[in-house]
């Protein structure tokens, strides 16, 4: 097992754990939010959990896209700068 494989396996594991935790957090969030108790702070915490979970799920889903975008941008800058300097 090379270092790259190790990191990749680790990443994959973290992704699957993250999906699991998303469901968990989302459920807990709704549970707290919908609980028949009159404590507004508990309900607020539930609301926060749901929001965080949804945002994180969003980032999780577009993870590969984000990195593709970063590498595309970097490549674009590098290519255009270098070719500009070579020709000009």
Partner 1 sequence: MNLNTVLIVALQLCVLTYYLGVLVYMLPLPSRRIKRWGPVLIEDSLYAAFLISILSLILYASDYISSFSGYTLAEVIGYIRTNIIALFITNYIARITIMFLSIIPGKFGSLVSLLFFPFFLSFYAMVLASAIALVLTLLVHSAKTVLVSLGALLYSIPLRLGRNAGASLIAFIVIGNAMLPYLPHWVAFILTSISTGYIESISTYNRSVYNLWGVVKGESGGNPTYALIYFNETETGEIYRYIVGRDGGYYISKPYNYLPQGSYTVYVEYMGLILRPKNYKVRIPEDLQLTNNYIDMPYRLDFSIDNTVFLEPQIIIRSNCEIYNVSIISSNKITLKCLLTPYKSYSMYIISNNYCSMEINEHSEIYYVVAGSDKMAWRGVPVKIKKIDFTSYKSRPTIILDTYCISSEIIEPTLSEAYYAHPSPSYSIFDPLVQLTLLGIGYSMALFSFISLFTMVSLSLARVIGAYYPRILFER
CA distance 46 to 49: 5
Could you identify the residue written with the tokens 């990191």?
A: 7
Binding of partner 1 by 39 (CB under 8 A)? no
Binding of partner 1 by 83 (CB under 8 A)? no
Contact residue for partner 1 among 34, 39, 55, 83 (CB under 8 A): 55
49: exposed, middle or buried (Cβ count in 10 Å: 0-12, 13-18, 19+): buried
Binding of partner 1 by 15 (CB under 8 A)? yes
Binding of partner 1 by 35 (CB under 8 A)? no
Question: Long-range pairs for 28-36 at CB < 8 Å and ≥24 separation?
Answer: 29/53
Q: Is residue 46 a contact partner of residue 35, using CB atoms and an 8 Å limit?
A: yes
What is the binding site for partner 1 (CB under 8 A)?
3-4, 7-8, 10-11, 14-15, 17-18, 21-22, 24-25, 28-29, 45, 48-49, 52-53, 55-57, 59-60, 63, 66-67, 70-71, 73-75, 77-78, 81-82, 85
């Amino acid at each position: 097992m090379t270092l790259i494989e190790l990191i990749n396996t680790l990443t994959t594991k973290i992704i699957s754990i993250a999906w699991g935790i998303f469901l968990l957090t989302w459920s807990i969030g709704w549970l707290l939010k919908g609980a028949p108790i009159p404590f507004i702070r508990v309900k607020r915490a539930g609301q926060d959990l749901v929001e965080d979970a949804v945002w994180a799920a969003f980032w999780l889903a577009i993870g590969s896209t984000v990195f593709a975008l970063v590498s595309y941008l970097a490549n674009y800058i590098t290519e255009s700068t270098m070719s500009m300097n070579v020709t000009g």
